[in-house]
Amino acid sequence: MPQNTDALLPIMTGQTVIPVIVLDDAKDAVPLAKALVAGGLPAIEITLRTDAALESIRRVAAEVPEALVGAGTILNAAQFDEAVAAGSKFIVSPGLTPELVEAANGSPVPLLPGAVTSSEIMAALEEGYSLLKFFPAEQAGGAAYLKSLSSPFGGVQFCPTGGVSAKNAPDYLALPNVLCVGGSWVAPKDAVTSGDWNTVTALAKEAAAAG
């Protein structure tokens, strides 16, 4: 079954920067989500890189209805199902496997899988996936490499993440095959741990306006 683009495309075009969040403590999830929403970035990717991730997603989904919480770093079908059960509205993976394709088939929750090489992009297209994550963006060749993919893969559009910052985000967003970028700079770790939500909101406003 092809990618659920009807559900995913509005998320990728709704804001030019999607915050990529790593949370060590679920108590920070709700105030962080509220701060990002206040700054104009309601779609938020919480990565499954910590033990607090699923609980963080549950809390945001339950307590911040104006947010659109997603789950990142999904590596297998079990994690896909857990993230959906926690309330995720979209799923992000650094790659694409037959197991993930099967998990996403028929699900109302869309999958944004990762692809970097031509072979990976072609494999994704064979499965009906044309909206892709480009990760790790800077380490894989950056905006110049991504631009070179626009000719052979004219129907593919990307969300680059990994090394994307306020400084280089405009380089990616200027590309014809980039819809949005993912980045962690809008929620610095020190601001989150100290509860400096005003700083998060200010950074989110800057990111939202930059698009």
| Per-residue DSSP letter, 163 | S
pLDDT tens figures, 108-132: 999 999 999 999 999 999 999 999 9
Full-model pTM: 0.97
Spans of all domains in the chain: 5-210
CATH topology of domain 5-210: TIM Barrel (3.20.20)
User: DSSP secondary structure string, 48-84?
Assistant: TTSTTHHHHHHHHHHH-TTSEEEEE---SHHHHHHHH
Residue of 160, 178, 170, 208 lying closest to 15 (CA atoms): 208
Q: Rounded to whole angstroms, what are the CA distances from 198 to 19, 38, 39, 44?
A: 16, 10, 9, 17
| Residue of 27, 34, 45, 120 marked catalytic | 45
Catalytic: 45?
Answer: yes
Supply 20's token pair: 């990529």
With bands split at pLDDT 50, 70 and 90, how would you rate the model's confidence at 1?
confident
With bands split at pLDDT 50, 70 and 90, how would you rate the model's confidence at 211?
low
Catalytic: 133?
Answer: yes
